[in-house]
Amino acid sequence: MQKYGILKLVSVILVITVCAFLAYNEVKKNNIRTGIDIRGGIYAVLEPDIDKSSLTDDEIDKGLESAKTILGKRLDAKNIFDRSINIDSVNDRIIIEIPWAAGETNFNPQDQLNELGKTALLTFQEVDEDKVDENGIYLPTGKIIIQGNQVKDANAAPYQEQGSWVVALELDESGSEAFAEATGRLVGKPIAIFMDDQLISAPIVNQKIEGGKAIITGMANAEEAAELAATIRSGALPFRLVATKVDSISPQLGEGAMNVAVKAGIIGFLLVCLFMILVYRLPGVIASIALFGLAVLTILSVAWTGISITLPGIGGIILSIGMGVDANCVIYERIKEELRAGKTLRSAIDQGFHRAFAAVLDSNVTTLISAVVLYALGSGPIKGFALTLGIGVAISFLTAVTATKLMLEGVSGIGAFKNKWLYGVK
């Protein structure tokens, strides 16, 4: 029994140690993306590449609103919540600010702008066999069959016939009808797929294609296919956007502010651990290990999901650690009550966790609901705060009811740790 308890204790500590090592590597390699307020980013002015005289002011305004929404979706898909996207209605343009990527060393604003994906328009066009460039590559003819906004879904898929990757498209009703009509008329001829004026591929139509299914060939690898599919899924821009100005912007607060916040967090964490140990003794030590596990798991989650961390985001992480402390306090007070009632140590631990579970679950669920609402209705740094808070609370619940319990059960099976005084009871 004692060996089994030691095994559980060592296993949990070993897992936390490995996670701490991984988290340290992520921090050391600068794989955690920081927000504009901490590290700065880029400022870009995007203007529609259209003949404005061909559209009314209302049509241009609607197009810019649509483009703003789509750019926001693309940044959401990359977990870049610390951004600013605004429409300059006077000059008919979009102004955007996004943070530097994690590990960025060249600080090239143009490269960073590429994170938006193609600021381009996807079109399937009829081909004019005589309209090619000097390399024999088809040029746009303007005879558009379907556009990207007629695509319902897009996914990367292996193309078994050639051992390559393609993007599989599902078209909406209008796109299906137009595509069926065109492929029925153009059997034996190519249909060119353009991203703006860049030819992606020009597959030959073998037969009339009905049912709203199409593929884009010519992908170099799975990553390129996945990237193009993600760009199409996030929405087709109503018109091509051209970056007329791209600059780097300075951080609003600077890395010094982040260093101060991190130092404050470390000091606060140590004081919390000291409090827990003084009040709850051996369970306080267990809680400190679990809280350390909560911190490193949250850091790993942030690094692996690519969420940009702002100062509000750091606040969300610290708040989730506070939730972890609260859960441990509730559980330990229940255990002390059971010990005072004369229960054995093992029985007190089981009953303590059982009776505290509902209260811990309720507090975590209500906080998660708040995080979900903030994420759904908020924008920019508020979304980042909601996401770090939600991730932190979920991990906090996991560590409080599993890691803490396993470690407590482990030490309770060791003879030297069975004295009730070690659990805060005389």
The angle at the Cα of 72, spanning 68 to 76, to the nearest 5 degrees, equals 175
Domain boundary among 249, 280, 298: 249
Q: pLDDT-based confidence at 18, cuts 50/70/90? A: very high
156 and 286 both lie in a single domain: no
Between 216 and 285, the more confident residue is: 285
Has residue 2 got a pLDDT over 70?
no
pLDDT tens digit string along 119-177?
556 788 888 877 887 777 888 888 888 877 777 777 888 876 666 787 787 888 888 88
Whether residue 84 contacts residue 231, with contact meaning beta carbons closer than 8 Å, is answered with no
Q: What per-residue confidence (pLDDT) applies to 416? A: 77
Domain boundary among 249, 275, 291: 249
12 and 54 both lie in a single domain: no
130 and 220 both lie in a single domain: yes
pLDDT tens digit string along 173-223?
888 888 888 888 888 888 888 876 777 777 777 777 888 887 777 677 777
71 and 141 both lie in a single domain: no
364 and 278 both lie in a single domain: yes
Q: pLDDT-based confidence at 274, cuts 50/70/90? A: very high
Between 25 and 151, the more confident residue is: 25
Whether residue 378 contacts residue 365, with contact meaning beta carbons closer than 8 Å, is answered with no
The CATH number given to whatever domain includes residue 85 is: 3.30.70.3220
The CATH number given to whatever domain includes residue 342 is: 1.20.1640.10
126 and 215 both lie in a single domain: yes
Among 110-124, 171-185, 297-311, name the one with the lowest average pLDDT. 110-124
62 and 96 both lie in a single domain: yes
Mean pLDDT of the chain, nearest integer? 80
- The average pLDDT across 390-412 equals 86
Q: What are phi and psi of 317, to 5 degrees?
A: -65, -45
- Residues of the domain holding 131: 122-235
The CATH number given to whatever domain includes residue 194 is: 3.30.1360.200
Has residue 77 got a pLDDT over 80?
no
Q: Could you give the number of structural domains in the chain? A: 3
29 and 75 both lie in a single domain: no
Q: What's the CA gap between 140 and 124, in Å, rounded?
A: 10
- The average pLDDT across 65-89 equals 78
Q: What's the DSSP call for residue 34? A: B
367 and 219 both lie in a single domain: no
263 and 195 both lie in a single domain: no
Q: What's the CA gap between 26 and 316, in Å, rounded?
A: 19
347 and 419 both lie in a single domain: yes
Among 113-127, 140-154, 306-320, 403-417, name the one with the lowest average pLDDT. 113-127
Domain boundary among 235, 260, 295: 235
Burial 354-372 (b: 16+ CB within 10 A, else e): ebbbeebeebbeebbeebe
Between 38 and 399, the more confident residue is: 399
158 and 11 both lie in a single domain: no
Q: What per-residue confidence (pLDDT) applies to 177? A: 87
Whether residue 231 contacts residue 74, with contact meaning beta carbons closer than 8 Å, is answered with yes
Three-class secondary structure of residue 420 per DSSP: helix
